[in-house]
Amino acid sequence: MSELAQYNMHEAKSQLSRIVERVEHGETVVISRAGKPVAKVVPLTDVRRRTGRGSLAGRISYAHDWDSAEVNEEIAADFGLLS
């Protein structure tokens, strides 16, 4: 197994595009602070692409009262939006 690419924090900030490009090509990159590894940037393995509008049709169901005044008031109250 090859050694992982490693960047210090300053390099990572200034070379983010290069790091993302490496990761897009399957590499894993380690980011370090003061020589200590603190983060790992890895490729996403299961990226799902939606095919467009309606691609979730028939897969989502709503409660009968999902948009009722009572439900909307409860949500507003939860977020402190009622006076």
Domain of 11: which CATH number?
Answer: 3.40.1620.10
- In a domain, residue 25? The reply is yes
What is the per-residue pLDDT for 55? Answer: 77
Count of domains for the chain: 1
- In a domain, residue 16? The reply is yes
- In a domain, residue 31? The reply is yes
B/e letters for 10-32, b = 16+ CB within 10 Å, e = fewer, are eebeeeeeebeebbeeeeebbbe
- In a domain, residue 32? The reply is yes
Q: pTM for this structure?
A: 0.52
**DSSP 8-state assignment for residue 8:** E
**What are the tens digits of pLDDT across the range 21-41?**
999 999 999 999 999 999 999
- In a domain, residue 78? The reply is no
| Domain enclosing residue 21, as ranges | 5-41
Residue 83 banded pLDDT, cuts 50, 70, 90: low
- In a domain, residue 69? The reply is no
* Average pLDDT of the chain to the nearest whole number: 89
d(CA 75, CA 34): 45
d(CA 74, CA 81): 10
Does the structure show a pLDDT above 70 at 1? no
- Residue 7 tokens, joined: 């960047």
